């Protein structure tokens, strides 16, 4: 449990540090990249980053939302290509027992 608490604290620190740069030109592409990585890593709080960034720079909320949408779409495409190429054994390696769940069945 302590590992998860430290990880949560680090993510929170990085997000707060990153939000200081919400008015920079490179910030929306960074948000898109993090959204794409979120499909593979699953620990990046995209919704919190989007809401906080939109509150910090309200005039750019559409650009932020578009960046996260495009990044999430590209990340989902990358993930589906990986699963298609690697197959079910690759999925079961990362998520053992997922094929035994009621939702999978």
d(CA 46, CA 16): 13
Per-residue b or e along 62-85, where b marks 16 or more CB atoms closer than 10 Å to that residue's CB: eebeebbebbbeebeeeeeeeeee
Q: In order along the chain (105 residues), what is the average pLDDT of each group of 10 residues?
A: 76 78 85 86 78 84 90 91 85 79 78
- As a whole number of angstroms, the distance between CA 91 and CA 99 comes to 9
CB atoms within 10 A of CB 28: 20
Rg, the chain, Cα only: 16
pLDDT at 1: 60
Q: Are 46 and 34 in contact (CB under 8 A)?
A: yes
What is the structure's pLDDT at 46?
A: 80
Write down the pLDDT at residue 73: 93
**What is the pLDDT at residue 50?**
83
């Amino acid at each position: 449990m302590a590992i998860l608490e430290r990880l949560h604290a680090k993510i929170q620190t990085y997000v707060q540090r990153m939000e200081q740069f919400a008015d920079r030109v490179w910030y929306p592409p960074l948000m898109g990249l993090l959204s794409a990585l979120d499909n593979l890593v699953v620990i990046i709080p995209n919704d919190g980053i989007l809401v906080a960034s939109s509150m910090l720079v309200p005039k750019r909320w559409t650009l932020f939302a578009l960046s996260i949408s495009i990044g999430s779409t590209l990340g989902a495409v990358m993930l589906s290509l990986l699963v298609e190429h690697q197959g079910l054994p690759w999925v079961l390696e990362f998520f053992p027992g997922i094929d035994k769940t009621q939702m999978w069945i």
